[in-house]
């Protein structure tokens, strides 16, 4: 019998099938992350693509990342070819989403890709007695630098507005998850004094991959089935809204919202969960964060930067914008046509840095759930103090730290302060824009680069779909392997024991 994956709904004890079919587990080789990690560079006049041979290690197949051509994304205007996208943020069902039409692009490589010229910069040397807050780059004491952060999945659909505690985060991640609706994952250095944080929502695997480099404790209130293998991994210290300890950590509050948009936690609740699960609360002393920052009193070199007083990621439902405030040197965020406010203190989200990370994406099978190619190499933008420069990023493995580089190959050193990372789909890159003001808004890349990015995503998606059954089989096997390491007990939900199979009634053979 062919099992189905059941996706957990975003509230307690509610699950619904969405007809996801995978081959029987065990018939194929086990993979950790077969996503056809093909990175196609963006050279002028050609789209180069290359795959490396799969390598077997400990019964899992790893895809190594390919070398890429050192071609810079040129910022420039682009003609809009995007068709209308439905504005339905109240449902998780798949809507009819039409992507942009592009001219055909020659996908045959016409040149041999060469490695991007990254430079192995030495670790920074700080003055004696000075340490970093690894989320903001601020100077702190040694004890403060060792505090382990907490990442939280935040509901960002319109029914979940207003939100609580969000202004206290230090790093923000946002991406589309399904039906053109975005979700956020917020990374907090501490939760001091926060008695209501949320609304909370379920995990998506791309967020877990992106925040893992912070060595954070990861909170999620439910999860898509595709995230289960990684949530069960020992490299993920997660606090689950579906755990047996739920009532000690989370609570429902109807002050602003009704189910499923009314799940919250607090400083005390998270402390209880972390203590119950026995997670460490400090970094190892050898830990260094994924971001690099300038020294106190210095600023990021923005030579040859373009104007970016207005920043538009291009998400069609919440329509977020960042507006630069010269008086404070910070970007103020808006969405749904209004300032993005923390209802607990009335403060607007404000950040020093914005990063656009361009990634390939595809739908998982016939579901509305998006899969992103986080384990890859790619381009993006670094935006700060009203200016933007192109950057290059790499994340070699699911749980690995991301590294950002300037186009001369050196590690990007950001201005000290909070950071907001927006994931931009390559196939929808034409919607992302920056400019000095609303009248001068232009696409983040030229029209030719839009066509290349769209074509690259299309080719990657085709390769992924052809091999999706391998990946989903690996997901099922890897989840069971990880649960077996915990004596058959799931870290995510009590019903996910060793005998549980996706799509069955919780017991093997039924």
Could you please report the per-residue DSSP string of 195-231?
S-BB-B--B-HHHHHHHGGGT-EEEESSB-GGGHHHH
Tokens of 18: 């969405």
Q: What pLDDT score does 71 carry?
A: 34
In angstroms, rounded to a whole number, what is the distance separating the alpha carbons of residues 151 and 216? Answer: 6
Tokens of 38: 């093909």
Q: What pLDDT score does 108 carry?
A: 25
Contacts with 126 (C-beta within 8 Å, 6 or more apart), sequence order: 132, 139, 295
Q: What pLDDT score does 358 carry?
A: 96
All residue ranges of the chain with pLDDT < 70 are 1-115, 494-510
Q: What pLDDT score does 123 carry?
A: 84
- Is 342 within 8 Å of 349 (Cβ atoms)? yes
Q: What is the pTM of this model?
A: 0.80
Strand-pair partners of 20: 5
First to last CA, the chain: 10
Q: What pLDDT score does 184 carry?
A: 98
Q: What pLDDT score does 432 carry?
A: 97
Domains of the chain are 131-464 (3.50.90.10)
Strand-pair partners of 197: 265
Q: What pLDDT score does 115 carry?
A: 55
DSSP H stretches of helix in 125-212:
142-145, 205-211
What's the chain's Rg over C-alpha atoms? Answer: 22
Q: What pLDDT score does 475 carry?
A: 87
Find, among 176, 183, 185, the residue nearest to 135 by Cα: 185
Q: What share of the chain is helix, strand, coil (3-state, %, to 5)?
A: 15, 30, 55
Q: What pLDDT score does 117 carry?
A: 77
Q: What pLDDT score does 65 carry?
A: 29
Q: What pLDDT score does 134 carry?
A: 97
In angstroms, rounded to a whole number, what is the distance separating the alpha carbons of residues 378 and 45? Answer: 18
Tell me the per-residue pLDDT of 407-463, one tens digit each, with 9 for 90 and over: 999 999 999 999 999 999 999 999 999 999 999 999 999 999 999 999 999 999 999
In angstroms, rounded to a whole number, what is the distance separating the alpha carbons of residues 173 and 204? Answer: 12
- Is 187 within 8 Å of 214 (Cβ atoms)? yes
In angstroms, rounded to a whole number, what is the distance separating the alpha carbons of residues 200 and 242? Answer: 12
Find, among 350, 420, 417, the residue nearest to 380 by Cα: 420
Tokens of 383: 């935006």
- Is 390 within 8 Å of 381 (Cβ atoms)? yes
- Is 499 within 8 Å of 492 (Cβ atoms)? no
In angstroms, rounded to a whole number, what is the distance separating the alpha carbons of residues 369 and 13? Answer: 20
Contacts with 8 (C-beta within 8 Å, 6 or more apart), sequence order: 14, 15, 202, 222, 223, 224, 225, 242, 493
Q: How far is CA 303 from the centre of its chain?
A: 28
Strand-pair partners of 312: 433
């Amino acid at each position: 019998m062919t099992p189905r994956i059941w996706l957990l709904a975003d509230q307690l004890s509610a699950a619904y099938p969405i007809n996801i079919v995978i081959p029987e587990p065990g018939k194929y080789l086990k993979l950790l992350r077969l996503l056809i990690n093909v990175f196609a560079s963006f050279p002028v006049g050609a789209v180069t693509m290359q795959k490396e041979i799969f390598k077997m290690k400990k019964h899992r197949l790893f895809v190594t990342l390919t070398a890429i051509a050192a071609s810079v994304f040129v910022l420039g205007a682009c003609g809009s070819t995007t068709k209308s996208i439905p504005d339905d943020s109240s449902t998780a069902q798949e809507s009819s989403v039409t992507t942009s039409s592009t001219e055909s692009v020659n996908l045959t490589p016409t040149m041999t890709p060469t490695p991007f010229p990254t430079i192995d910069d030495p670790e920074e040397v700080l003055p004696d007695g000075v340490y970093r807050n690894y989320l903001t780059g601020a100077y702190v004491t040694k004890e403060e630098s060792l505090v382990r952060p907490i990442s939280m999945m935040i509901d960002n659909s319109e029914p979940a507005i207003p939100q609580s505690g969000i202004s206290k985060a230090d790093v923000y991640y946002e991406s589309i998850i399904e039906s053109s609706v975005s979700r956020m994952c917020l990374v907090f250095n501490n939760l001091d004094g926060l008695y209501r944080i949320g609304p909370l929502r379920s995990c998506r695997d791309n967020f877990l991959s992106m925040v893992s480099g912070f060595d954070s404790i990861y909170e999620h209130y439910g999860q898509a089935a595709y995230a289960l293998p990684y949530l069960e991994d020992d490299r993920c210290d997660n606090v689950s809204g579906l755990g047996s300890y739920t009532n000690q950590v989370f609570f429902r509050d109807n002050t602003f919202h009704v189910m499923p948009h009314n799940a919250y936690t607090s400083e005390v609740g998270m402390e209880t969960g972390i203590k119950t699960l026995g997670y460490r609360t400090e970094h190892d002393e050898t830990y260094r964060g994924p971001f690099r920052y300038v020294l106190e009193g210095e600023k990021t070199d923005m030579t040859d930067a373009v104007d970016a007083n207005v920043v538009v990621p291009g998400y069609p439902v919440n329509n977020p914008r960042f507006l630069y405030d010269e008086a404070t040197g910070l970007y103020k965020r808006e969405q749904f046509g209004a300032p993005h406010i923390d209802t607990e203190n009335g403060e607007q989200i404000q950040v020093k840095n914005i990063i656009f990370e361009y990634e390939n994406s595809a739908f998982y099978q016939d579901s509305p759930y998006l899969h992103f190619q986080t384990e890859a190499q790619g381009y993006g933008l670094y935006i700060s103090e009203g200016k933007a420069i192109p950057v290059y990023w790499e994340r070699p493995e699911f749980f690995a730290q991301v590294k950002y580089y300037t186009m001369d190959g050196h590690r990007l050193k950001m201005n000290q302060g909070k950071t907001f990372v927006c994931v931009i789909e390559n196939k929808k890159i034409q919607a992302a824009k920056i400019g000095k003001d609303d009248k001068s808004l232009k696409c983040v890349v030229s029209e030719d680069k839009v066509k290349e990015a769209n074509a690259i995503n299309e080719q990657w998606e085709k390769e992924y779909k052809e091999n999706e059954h391998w990946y989903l089989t690996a997901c099922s096997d890897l989840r069971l392997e990880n649960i077996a390491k915990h004596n058959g007990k799931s870290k995510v939900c009590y019903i996910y024991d060793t005998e549980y199979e996706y799509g069955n009634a919780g017991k093997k053979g039924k």
